[in-house]
Amino acid sequence: MLAIAQSHQSEYSMSTTIQEQPTSLSEVNVYDPEDGSFIASVPRATCTDVEAAISRAVVSRELARAMSTYSRTAILQKTSELIQGRLEEFATTIAREGVKTIREARKEVFRCTQTFRFSAEEAHRLNGQTINFDQRLGSENRTGYFFREPVGIVVAITPFNDPLNLVAHKVGPALAAGNVVILKPDHATPLSALLLSRTLAEAGLPRDVLQVLVGYGSEIGMSLISDPRVRMVSFTGGRETGEIILRSMGLKKVSMELGGNCPTIVLNDADLAQAVPDCVSGAFWAAGQNCLHVQRLLVQDGIYNEFVERLLAATGTYKMGNKLNETTDMGPLINQSAALRVEAAVIDAMQAGARLLTGGRREGNFYAPTLLENVSLSTSLYHEEIYGPVTVLERVASLDEAIDKANGVDFGLQAAIFTRDLSSAFNAIRRLECGSVMVNGSTDYRDDSMPFGGVKGSGIGREGVPFAVLEMSEPKVACFNL
């Protein structure tokens, strides 16, 4: 079945013109969210394809385990180099099928090259150590060590917003640790993953060590996650789906990043020349469809008015439009349903007393960069993840108040603070309930080697290449009685 991309090197039909939408129960059609134009059709996986893919993965598992560290490192490094050499092809694919502008897409491609380079480096760092068994009385003649083994079959489920690098964050570490991978990219943006699959094959990855299934979670998701032969599920997506996976997957390892409602604190002593552009970028990057999106700005009284004035001026220059235009800053939401959802959340907040500072306009799948204040704590816009270009401003009297408000939602992915005072920075680092705290930068920052993940409703486990490699491997002990 051609839904198994790397196994059969499936091709997809490409179109660069708007045309009548094809219909087929055996295909997934990919459309440009900017104008609804048809881009490509790819084979649509069924539960039968899932069974076939897992059966092939069982066979190829021993092949993956037997690959030398040298081979895994060489393949991952070669993949990084091939992607770098095809940067424009990858970037155009990302921009056309997804929500990013061409400039945003190029940055994602560059990060993907780093992710595979880091994965290559971690492949030869996956070591164990000796164990002093003779520290136990009666074990004077025992010696041994532990080493790390791959978990086996990893199912990776990825979202639409970073259709290349979030795939790389699961595939790269899994291969570095010696696993086989079955990847299900978001059905709206599968082309970047398929292009990456073919690139890995060209770099020398053996057949069936990576398989790509393009389909709908409602149709094939349960078959993928519940099969006992699958030993780990790595999922990035919404919290509701994450909870369904946890209830259904059975006894296996899991890593989940489930989004956030990220707060950025701006204190009176902040450098506004640094804070304002960072917050604007963090608020509207990828049209806010980003788990690190600056959703809440908690600004101290003394600079609130000046900060808002500067933020509005900077937001006013943000250009929304054609994703492939080099001057465009922000593209569309992924589909009409997403745009209508964001629009409804803003309307609901305004009906509850919020004041619209700028934006609040929808044009098709585009939603203008939007800033609001006086948003009620009872609204979804305040305590849920908006996943759109909407940011809430709130005035606070002190750092203590800001921290209390920041912690007042059931998410804890990342938080940020702008301040010149080290004591304030360390106070925030200690007390903010989240996986990472950015000091003098907005929440929208991630290095691909740092431990990435959250607390509370934001997920389980940590990604970031070195940490994902550990999550995707298991220690095994060898003990000798001499």
Give the active site residues. 257, 291
Q: Which residues contact 350 (CB under 8 A, 6 or more apart)?
A: 356, 360, 372
Four-CA torsion 278, 279, 280, 286, nearest 10 degrees: 90
| Cβ 311 vs Cβ 280: under 8 Å | yes
Quick one: 91 exposed, middle or buried, by C-beta within 10 A (0-12, 13-18, 19+)? buried
CB-based contacts of 287, cutoff 8 Å, min separation 6: 99, 330, 331, 332, 333, 366, 367, 388, 389
Q: Which residue has the tokens 């708007």?
A: 18
Three-class SS of residue 114?
Answer: helix
Q: What are phi and psi of 431, to 5 degrees?
A: -100, -20
Q: Which one, of 383, 436, 378, 377, lies nearest residue 411 by Cα?
A: 383
- Cα distance between residue 269 and residue 166, in whole Å: 36
Rounded CA-CA distance 149/231 in Å is: 13
Which residues are registered as beta bridge partners of 266?
Answer: 299, 418
